[in-house]
């Protein structure tokens, strides 16, 4: 009986010692993200593309709620900033100017990081944002 307890204690202690030597991917102090396998990235890319395609079809058919849902999913999966613009336009077509303003602001902020401030696209986007804000202020409150 004593030998069984000794073996169990030895196994428990060896398990605790090996737990301290987990691969670095499991340590909480890791600064860099763990690499995602290529298969997962490809699946995410396919998922984002199919969501984008569904969103463009829904937008063309005038189903803006479905388009917004699909564009949100595509942005969540891919992180492509162009989808922020698509979301802004879909919200505008739906008549929800506040949503259109929010997503266009995010898009302009992202564009400013990637381009210079004097880039023609930024100027046009800021003009569009100002026009949306003016339309939103003129709308009667419900």
Higher pLDDT, 65 or 8: 65
- Is pLDDT at 21 greater than 70 in this prediction? no
Fold of 63-142: 1.25.40
Residues 6+ apart with CB under 8 A from 103: 84, 85, 87, 88, 91
Helices 38-60/64-78 angle, 10° precision: 160
Three-state DSSP string of 42-62: HHHHHHHHHHHHHHHHHHHCC
pLDDT in tens, 38-96: 555 778 889 999 999 999 999 999 999 999 999 999 999 988 888 998 999 999 899 88
Domain residue ranges of the chain, discontinuous segments joined by +: 63-142
Query: How many other C-beta atoms can be found within 10 angstroms of the C-beta atom of residue 92?
Result: 19
Higher pLDDT, 55 or 111: 55
Is the distance from CB of 68 to CB of 91 less than 8 angstroms? yes
């Amino acid at each position: 009986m004593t030998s069984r307890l000794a073996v169990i204690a030895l196994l428990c202690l060896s398990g605790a010692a090996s737990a301290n030597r987990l691969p670095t991917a499991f340590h909480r102090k890791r600064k860099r993200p763990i690499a995602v396998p290529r298969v997962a990235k490809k699946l995410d890319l396919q998922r984002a593309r199919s969501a984008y395609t569904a969103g463009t079809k829904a937008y063309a058919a005038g189903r803006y709620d479905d388009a917004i849902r699909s564009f949100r999913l595509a942005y969540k999966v891919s992180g492509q900033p162009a989808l922020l613009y698509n979301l802004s336009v879909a919200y505008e077509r739906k008549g929800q100017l506040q949503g259109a303003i929010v997503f266009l602001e995010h898009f302009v902020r992202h564009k400013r990081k990637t381009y210079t401030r004097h880039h023609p696209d930024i100027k046009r986007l800021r003009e569009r944002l100002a026009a949306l804000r003016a339309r939103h202020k003129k709308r009667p409150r419900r």
